[in-house]
Amino acid sequence: PPLYIITPTYKRAEQLAELTRFAHTLMLVPNVSWLVIEDAFEKSPLVAKLLDKTGLRYEHLTAPMPEEYKNKKSGPKPRGVSNRNKGIQWVRANAVDGVLYFADDDNTYDLELFHEIRYTKRVSMFPVGLVTKLGVSSPIVKNGIFSGFYDGWIAGRKFPVDMAGFAISVKFLLQRPNATMPYKPGYEEDGFLKSLTPFEPKEIELLASNCSKILVWHTQTKRNDPSTTLDLTKYGSTNIEILKK
Ligand code: UGA
Ligand code: MN
C-alpha cells in the first residue's frame, strides 16, 4: 500500500536544509507520495527545484495560513494547519487506499517507521522522542494493551499525542468525510483525532514493538536569522541563490 506523507513547510533560512534532509530519508522509502504544502501564496521556485531533484513522486501545493491567525499579535499560532487540511483534501480527491502520515519538515525519522505505519488498518500510534520536558510522548502499554497516554502536556485532551505520533488509513479517512484539523493551537492533533469519530483510544493500533521503540524524534533546528539581508549580488556574485527574508 502507498504512503501519503503530508509535510507542511514555510519560508525561513532553514527551510531548504530541513527539506533536503527529509527528502533524503524519503528517497530510501518505497512507494511514497510526498505532499509538500507551503504556507505561502505562491510556490517557492527553490522548493520546486529541490523536489524535482529528488526523483520522488510528489505534489507541490500551497495553503497560506488564514490572515486572522497570521496577524495575531500574541500567543501561539495554528502552525501547519491550513497546509495539512489542504493535504487531506488532496488525499480525499486522489487516493483510494494506503496510509497517511503528517510529517513536519524538521523532525527526524527512522526508516523503520515507514515499514511500521504502512499496514495501519485504522489509526496507529507510536512513541515520539524529544517532546516536552518529559522527553517522550507515547501511548502507555501494559501487557500488550493500551492503558493511557504519557505526555508532558495532557491539558484535558482525549488524545494527548504529538502530530508525529500517529498514522491513519486512507480508507478509514475516506469513510469520515467530516474529519478535519481545527485551527486551535495545542489542540490540532486532539481535534483531528476526535473528528475521526467513531474512534476511541482503546482501538489504537500500537506500533514500534508495543510502543517500546522511538522511531521518530521531534527535533528542532536552532534558528539562524541573518541580522542583515544577505545580498551577495552586491559583491558581484551571481552563482548563489539565497533565501531572502
Ligand atoms: C509542534 C508539534 O510537533 C507540531 O506537530 C505542531 O503542528 C506544532 O507544534 C504547532 O501546532 O504549533 P513545532 O516544532 O513547535 O511542533 O512546530 P514547527 O515545526 O515550527 O511547525 C510545525 C509544521 O508547520 C512544520 O512542518 C512547519 O514547517 C510548518 N509551519 C510552521 C508552517 O507551515 N507555517 C508556520 O508559520 C510555521
Ligand atoms: Mn517542529
Residue 163: its pLDDT value, please? 98
Give the number of whichever ligand sits closest to the CA of residue 22: 1
- State whether the beta carbon of 87 lies less than 6 angstroms from ligand 1: no
Relative to the alpha carbon of 105, which ligand is closest?
Answer: 1
Q: Is 39 in the pocket of ligand 1 (CB under 6 A)?
A: yes
pTM of the entire predicted model: 0.94
Of the candidates 125, 127, 114, 132, the residue with the CA atom closest to the CA atom of residue 196 = 125
To the nearest whole percent, how much of the chain has pLDDT over 90?
A: 90
The residues carrying an active-site annotation are 189
According to the model, what pLDDT value does residue 237 have?
A: 66
Q: Is the CB of 218 inside a 6 Å radius of any atom of ligand 1?
A: yes
What is the Å distance from ligand 1's center to 234 Cα? Answer: 34
- By the CB criterion, residues less than 5 angstroms from ion ligand 2 are 104, 106
Q: How far is the CA of 237 from the centre of ligand 1 (A)?
A: 34
Q: How confident is the model at residue 231 (pLDDT cuts 50, 70, 90)?
A: low
Q: Decide if pLDDT at 183 tops 80.
A: yes
| Residue 242 reports pLDDT greater than 60 | no
Q: Say if CB 87 and CB 61 are below 8 A apart.
A: yes
Contact 215, 109 (CB under 8 A): yes
ipTM, 2 dp: 0.94
Q: Is the CB of 105 under 6 A from ligand 1?
A: yes
Tell how many helices (H) and how many strands (E) occur in the chain. Answer: 8, 12
Strand bridging mode 166-169 / 99-102: antiparallel
- Mean pLDDT estimate for the chain: 94
Pick 25 or 238 by higher pLDDT.
25
User: Is the CB of residue 151 below 6 angstroms from any atom belonging to ligand 1?
Assistant: no
Cell reading at 120: 495501519
104 close to 8: Cβ distance less than 8 angstroms:
yes
Mean pLDDT in residue range 33-62? 98
* Beta partners for residue 6, in sequence order: 35, 102
The answer for residues whose C-beta is within 8 angstroms of residue 184's C-beta and 6 or more apart is 78, 191
Reported confidence tier of residue 245, pLDDT bands at 50, 70, 90: very low
Q: How far apart are the C-alpha atoms of 129 and 118, rounded to whole Å?
A: 20
Per-residue pLDDT tens digits for 203-219: 999 999 999 999 999 99
Give the separation between CA 16 and CA 11, rounded to whole angstroms. 9
Q: Which residue puts its alpha carbon closest to atom 26 of ligand 1?
A: 104
What is the structure's pLDDT at 226? 66
